[in-house]
Structure 1
Amino acid sequence: MTIGSRLDRRFWLVSEDGVKLYPVRIRNRLTGRSAFRICPASTNITSEQIEVDNIDEVERAVVVEGHGIRVAPNEDAAANVRALGGRIQGVGYVADWSGPRHARAERETAAEEG
């Protein structure tokens, strides 16, 4: 994530039409805090969303646990809640980011045990 950017480009969701959708930091109007918002499934109810600062936690919540996250294709676009499945067909990663390795391993272990 570059300074001043609200997007984190280390991992992204891929829409059904191939568009990369990046996690977005949203500013809480009540507290002034800028954070990623994780939510159960694809709810858009702010009170049900959890504010998280760490992109590794975001990636784990989305990829392993199936939660939704506010994402956007670029800095100027509106941020919408999306989760894997439905209109989201996959996940992509920056090659040198070490964060997703733990989530992929946990997901594969869970699939083998389930």
Structure 2
Amino acid sequence: MSPRLDATRTPDAPSATLSVDPTTPLPATPLPGELADRLLDRPLDRIGPVDARALSKDLFARLAELEEGTHDHAYVRNTLVELNLALVRFAAARFGTRSEPMEDIVQVGTIG
């Protein structure tokens, strides 16, 4: 027999107790630039996939703001390329059965 959804909850139910004080402020979330600065302190091959996604999003936003041809634009673009090399290698592995050498496939994926 399934529980009744319209039944009142008892105070003993785990969902009936509030373990967090609603007046407690939430922890501060880093601003996009702060996230990039914090994550770029680590070597790029040590950044996990979740951090890489968040950092890529921030770097794409920065790239859109920068003027093409500047040193900063090139730096951000190259950082994005290096940050996503694992993704390029993963996608290139799907084409490994073709006659092209794997290095060529990775190079095409890197250049984009």
TM-score band by shorter chain is: under 0.3
Instruction: Give the number of the structure whose residues are more often helix, by fraction.
Output: 2
The structure with the largest alpha-carbon Rg is 2
Q: TM-score, normalised by structure 1?
A: 0.22
Structure with larger RCO (C-alpha < 8 A, sep 6+)? 1
Q: TM-score, normalised by structure 2?
A: 0.22
Instruction: Give the number of the structure whose residues are more often strand, by fraction.
Output: 1
